[in-house]
Structure 1
């Protein structure tokens, strides 16, 4: 009987106790947890598990190697799917290892925690290339480097992490290239290059521990102004070609003009001789001879030569032979 009374009292006690909503573990756990870092900017990303409800939130916690307690990350307690968590401020020690975990939750459900791999800020960050300026210096190139100003924990600057610079130099003309590794300096000179030739330079940086170089885009410049010798030679050749063409056209024109003049001269002489024959027939005289009453000196006078070369039509009217003879200077002795 006592056992029955005890069971009855226990049942009544549990029935009068306040009810609480049970939280069960039934949500899919997040996946693909990763921490990426570029120039000491640390970012955590993740993917929701398959079948995660749209209203699900996510929370992030971190732990570092020297402590065994997890602590929440401010600003990453109510993340939505697709959002990331910035861990730059909570990873304060560059030489310590950190780890993060992510959990999905709703008002009535939670998921299991998903952990990331261990992360060391100093070695796992990727150093981006510095800003680059390239200029020529004769048979060399001057490369100016500038690292963005950024303060880091432990009183460090971002440029303090840059230890060595890798220069990848490529000649634009034929694509020949070589690499050169130098200690980080704001001003660097690449020597033993060809003068008047264009080169393109890409740079990447490595730290004392980090070994994930990322190259910049190519920056191009001539070692010195391009030579103008070839262009001057071209101008001289073109000028000479133009002169020779003009001379050729001039000679051809003179030849054509001279040929026309040589054709006109016999025609004038023929017309003049025909005129003399017609006049002789009209007078009933015989064919005139050059050995007549005219002297040789008269035949070779300047006036007579010009008269013979003057164009006259055979049908041209003439008043008297004396006038014609006087005009031509053919007066008998």
Structure 2
């Protein structure tokens, strides 16, 4: 019996936590402190804070992966949720490992905007598209994150002639189309942008670079 108890403790999942980007919500965990055997299986449940019963996540019931997509199950973005995971090996089940409370609206990370460039002779026109949530409108298009938050965009320019690492802030605001003027012909410029949510004091990673030569 003692050996079973040791095995139970050694396979119990560690560091169970939600990761969330633009409301794509996934539960992640690490294997127990025993070196993981190939045939360790994991079982995931979730619930809304305050509910007494846990729901099984069927797609993550007896899986070998260390991640489970709970986007659909956590789609009420103002509700706090919990996830929990247990492991089994050789017919022995661990106890459950619980996540912290997770409220999507408060905790999701916002992605950067999608950037496209159009250039004329001395200026670059930057077009920004808001990051999108996984939730769809009736007509099937994904709802942009601007529907849920007051977003600001920051646009930075990089003059490759001077310093490819030096980003200069050229615009901050809500506009989706920004013209950057008085640029030098023949010089290669790159643009990156970020999304920020002032209310939550949070900002995205930088977008991928878009470059052009005037």
Instruction: Note if contact 1:94-1:153 (Cα within 8 Å) is conserved in structure 2.
Output: no
Task: Write the deviation string for residues 116-138 of structure 1: whole angstroms up to 9, x where unpaired.
Answer: 12222123222222322212234
Residue 48 (1) aligns with residue 31 (2): yes
C-alpha change, 1:179 and 1:148, in structure 2 (3 Å) is: closer
Using structure 1 for the length normalisation, give the TM-score: 0.52
Bigger Rg over Cα: 1
From 121, 124, 129, the counterpart of 1:146: 129
Instruction: Note if contact 2:130-2:145 (Cα within 8 Å) is conserved in structure 1.
Output: yes
Q: Which residue of 1 aligns with 2:157?
A: 169
Question: Per residue, is there more helix in 1 or in 2?
Answer: 1
Note the aligned Cα RMSD (angstroms): 2.8
TM-superposed deviation, 1:60: 0.9
TM-superposed deviation, 1:94: 0.8
Structure 1 CA distance for aligned equivalents of residues 105 and 47 of structure 2 = 17
C-alpha change, 1:73 and 1:115, in structure 2 (3 Å) is: same
Q: Which residue of 1 aligns with 2:144?
A: 158
Residue 62 (1) aligns with residue 62 (2): no
Task: Write the deviation string for residues 112-168 of structure 1: whole angstroms up to 9, x where unpaired.
Answer: 211112222123222222322212234432001234665527988124246111111
Structure 2 CA distance for aligned equivalents of residues 77 and 98 of structure 1 = 19
Aligned length: 199
Gaps of 5+ in 1: 1-23, 225-333
Q: Which residue of 2 aligns with 1:116?
A: 99
Q: Which residue of 2 aligns with 1:129?
A: 112
Structure 1 CA distance for aligned equivalents of residues 137 and 202 of structure 2 = 22
Residue 78 (1) aligns with residue 62 (2): yes
Structure 2 CA distance for aligned equivalents of residues 154 and 100 of structure 1 = 27
Structure 2 CA distance for aligned equivalents of residues 198 and 158 of structure 1 = 31
SS in structure 2 opposite 1:119?
coil
SS in structure 2 opposite 1:117?
coil
Using structure 2 for the length normalisation, give the TM-score: 0.77
C-alpha change, 1:150 and 1:34, in structure 2 (3 Å) is: closer
SS in structure 1 opposite 2:106?
helix
From 16, 20, 23, the counterpart of 1:37: 20
Structure 2 CA distance for aligned equivalents of residues 95 and 180 of structure 1 = 34
User: Equivalences for 1:272-291 in 2 at 5 Å?
Assistant: none
Task: Write the deviation string for residues 239-267 of structure 1: whole angstroms up to 9, x where unpaired.
Answer: xxxxxxxxxxxxxxxxxxxxxxxxxxxxx
Structure 2 CA distance for aligned equivalents of residues 115 and 148 of structure 1 = 30
RCO greater where, 1 or 2, for CA within 8 Å and sep 6 or more?
A: 2
Gaps of 5+ in 2: none
